[in-house]
Amino acid sequence: MGVKPLGDNPVALLAALHHEILLFAAVGLAIGGIDDLIVDLLFLARKAWRDAAVYTRFPRMTTAFLPVSSDPGRIAVFVPAWQEAEVIAPMLRHALSRWGHDRYRIFVGAYPNDPATIDAIASVAQDDPRLVLAVNSCPGPTTKADCLNLLWRAMIAQEDAGIM
């Protein structure tokens, strides 16, 4: 009784294939684990260095150490909106009611081919000067960056006009 070749025994062939796949997976996990371990060790070494060398010379900067500004200016909140007609007005009313002071402006960007969203924003904006509607010259949707740039320009225009 000799040993049968692997090709004659399908179970032995599957067992050998299973063993090779497990070995491949184990090596892959080990390499991935070593990579993660190196990243963790670098993080811990950097943290130890910063705690020992940097923060002993300079205190950590927190808001408790910052001086109070004599003229803090206003806060600008940018809200890009595309097809938000159902939710934008309640969200804006809620924000305006929660933020009691008037040291901020909410700039909301909309698109000319989204009249429902424009109407929803305008219904809130007509009652509150803290809300500014900016309508993009391009039909939407565009990139979020495009809409945020529009809102940035609207804020700059208000600053230049002395409103902001």
Number of Cα atoms under 13 Å in the Cβ half of residue 69: 5
Q: What is the pLDDT of residue 154?
A: 95
| pLDDT tens for the 164 residues of the chain, in order | 555 555 567 888 888 889 999 999 999 999 889 989 999 999 999 999 888 877 777 777 788 888 888 877 788 999 999 999 999 999 999 999 998 777 899 999 999 999 999 999 999 999 888 999 999 999 988 999 999 999 999 999 998 988 76
Enumerate the domain spans of the chain.
6-54, 75-159
Task: Indicate the pTM of the whole model.
Answer: 0.60
Measured CA distances, 31 to 10, 17, 85, 155 (Å): 32, 21, 51, 51
Give me 162's structure tokens.
Answer: 């002395």
CA distance 143 to 141: 7
Cβ count near 106 (within 10 Å): 23
DSSP state of 57: T
